[in-house]
Amino acid sequence: MSTWTSWRPSWSHADRVSGFKDYCYGLMLPLPRKSIEPIAASVNPAHVQARHQALHHLIANARCRIGRDD
């Protein structure tokens, strides 16, 4: 099973899918810093604070088990 399909069932809200897409898009941008704040400012300049909070929530509460044996 691919990693993509193993993650998908844990995304119970559309916000998580769009947040993940925004985060991945931001990682591919030519930004000097790949932290959440510059990514939020790049993907949604009109709502930086709200996007920052949403991305931080997405990353902080991620239930990723890739590379774990537990």
CA end-to-end span of the chain: 18
The pLDDT assigned to 69 comes to 56
12 class by beta-carbon count within 10 Å (0-12 exposed, 13-18 middle, 19+ buried): exposed
CA distance 43 to 55: 11
Per-residue pLDDT of the chain (70 residues; tens, 9 = 90+): 445 555 554 566 666 788 888 999 999 999 999 999 999 999 999 999 999 999 998 888 777 666 655 5
In this predicted structure, what is the pLDDT of residue 8? 55
